[in-house]
Amino acid sequence: MKYTLSKSLEIIERTPKILFTMLLGLSEEWITCNEGESTWNTKEVIAHLIVCENTNWVPRIRIMLSNSTNKTLDLVDMSAHFKIAKENSLEALLNEFKMLRDKSVTEVKKFNLQNADYANLAFHPKIFEVNLQQLIATWVTHDLSHLTQISRVMAKRYKNEVGAFKEYLKILK
The model's pLDDT over 127-143, given as tens digits with 9 standing for 90+, comes to 999 999 999 999 999 99
For the residues of the chain, what is the DSSP string, one character each? ----HHHHHHHHHHHHHHHHHHHTT--HHHHS--SSTT---HHHHHHHHHHHHHHTHHHHHHHHHS--S--BPPPP-TTHHHHHHHHS-HHHHHHHHHHHHHHHHHHHHHT---GGGGG-EEEETTTEEEEHHHHHHHHHHHHHHHHHHHHHHHHGGGTTTTGGGGGG-GGG-
pLDDT per position as a tens digit, 87-104: 999 999 999 999 999 999
CB 84 within 8 A of CB 93: yes
Name the pTM for this structure. Answer: 0.95
Mean predicted lDDT score pLDDT of the chain: 96
Given CA atoms 10, 108, 46, 56 in this order, what sign does their dihedral have? positive
| C-alpha Rg value of the chain to the nearest Å | 18
What pLDDT shows up at residue 49? 98
d(CA 136, CA 104): 12
Tell me how far CA of residue 5 lies from CA of 65, 72, 113, 153, 173, in angstroms: 15, 23, 8, 30, 34
pLDDT per position as a tens digit, 15-27: 999 999 999 999 9
Q: Using CB atoms within 10 Å of the CB of residue 112, give its burial: 0 to 12 exposed, 13 to 18 middle, 19+ buried.
A: exposed
- Write down the CATH number for the domain with range 5-172: 1.20.120.450
Could you tell me the pLDDT band of residue 158, with boundaries at 50, 70 and 90? Answer: very high
d(CA 85, CA 88): 6
CB 118 within 8 A of CB 133: yes
